[in-house]
Structure 1
């Protein structure tokens, strides 16, 4: 299929079903800005001593110069050269090559003691300098100062990267099936994922209206939270599935379906009190016991999580594991 026709058809579908879309999409206008002329694009390329990747060039000349897209939407070309997260809003040097080919982050970030405060201003300024994203367009603001980058100069030209430096998570190439992805692959993947989410929401909505969604078809339950419903199921003191609640309150995504298959309300003996209870349990272990095991091994697990969340402190991690354990403990109901 012609890419332009494919994208416009997918956009039209999302626009028609916007009320079933994800929160980020609902916050956007599902439309594109006017296209740029060939003359405007050539003038931009000449001014910055670059040539734009072919797929992106076609997009802004035939589909739209920014508009609906990942994060807070696609930025127009003239705004994509501005580093919006910095106070003085400097332009990114496109005539210099993007300096990275592999994921990058500063070594000091994982060893820094975030419990004691924040790094000195000079260190942070060097870390978030536009020099790190030379040769890139900031084509989409993801949120919290993070952005999607399109490399337009250097060995990574044409590929999408994620700039997570605002959260101290460095620069990372976007991958699909283990391979670098182009602008158009990244963008169409975004559309496809949104359409998949909408279709699941439509399915759940239709199922709920037809009264076939398991265990959730009454008006009182529509105003209850997921945890309220699970707690009430546990209070019934009988083995039951939570798949219906998962699909109703969230979505019928593969990970939610898998969760509903693996976990249910079940009877078991609490390994710590030796009392018979009902609670959430996999085939082999109560979730409370799993949460306790994570809490017992929190030092080892923390080191792994710290790689993904560099600013996460030990106190924050301990609070998370404690609260998780207490939630499963509270859901448990002793059999009288």
Structure 2
């Protein structure tokens, strides 16, 4: 599915064209990918969490790189909870195996009471999804691993009362769109 050499070539081009890292988030990942992950690590992750990763993401981390260069501030590594608080919580037992609760945009705004705020930010609204990337200002991109929306990316914008909304694309489309965008003009 993926051509690692072609992706690395494109990333090298982007790094040369954007040597000042002016493209949003590029200073964080610097157009570099981590090394691919071992099959045994992916299998262990899937077994431990009771999930099967969507094929496009699974093949990416096995063939291309386990995180690094990507949209916004880049892609998180599969099993590194120390890098991100949300990812650490994602890896709590049972969280990823539960069915993702949404099939369309969700945004039941809070009335401002402490109870309503707690409900609005309850992680049950994003269960069954894995935090892929930080977009800045608390916005997160999540890959759905379970339920009818499995394989699609969603934005968790509850940080600014924007709810949880679908991107309506899978990992491969999301990544390749970013990769093919032109670098900023100098």
Matching residue of 2:172: 184
C-alpha RMSD over aligned residues: 2.4
Q: Does the C-alpha gap of structure 1 residues 91 and 62 become closer, same or farther in structure 2, counting only changes over 3 Å?
A: same
Deviation at 1:4, TM superposition (A): 2.7
Q: Does the C-alpha gap of structure 1 residues 104 and 82 become closer, same or farther in structure 2, counting only changes over 3 Å?
A: farther
Distance in 1, Cα, partners of 2:119 & 2:84: 14
Q: Report if the CA contact (8 A) 1:35-1:60 is conserved.
A: yes
Q: Report if the CA contact (8 A) 2:34-2:66 is conserved.
A: yes
Deviation at 1:121, TM superposition (A): 2.6
Aligned positions of 1:131-150 closer than 5 A:
131-150=124-143
- Determine which structure has more spread, i.e. the larger CA radius of gyration: 1
Q: Does the C-alpha gap of structure 1 residues 96 and 59 become closer, same or farther in structure 2, counting only changes over 3 Å?
A: same
| Aligned counterpart in structure 1 of residue 96 of structure 2, from 85, 89, 94 | 94
Aligned positions of 1:52-63 closer than 5 A:
52-63=53-64
Q: Which moved more, 1:9-18 or 1:45-54?
A: 9-18
Q: Would you tell me which structure has more helix in proportion to its own residues?
A: 1
Aligned positions of 1:267-286 closer than 5 A:
none
Deviation at 1:16, TM superposition (A): 1.7
Distance in 2, Cα, partners of 1:30 & 1:164: 25
Distance in 2, Cα, partners of 1:41 & 1:65: 10
Q: Does the C-alpha gap of structure 1 residues 154 and 41 become closer, same or farther in structure 2, counting only changes over 3 Å?
A: same
Deviation at 1:65, TM superposition (A): 0.8
Q: Does the C-alpha gap of structure 1 residues 11 and 151 become closer, same or farther in structure 2, counting only changes over 3 Å?
A: same
Alignment TM-score, normalising by the size of structure 2: 0.87
Aligned positions of 1:120-159 closer than 5 A:
120-159=113-152
Unaligned runs of 5+ in 2: none
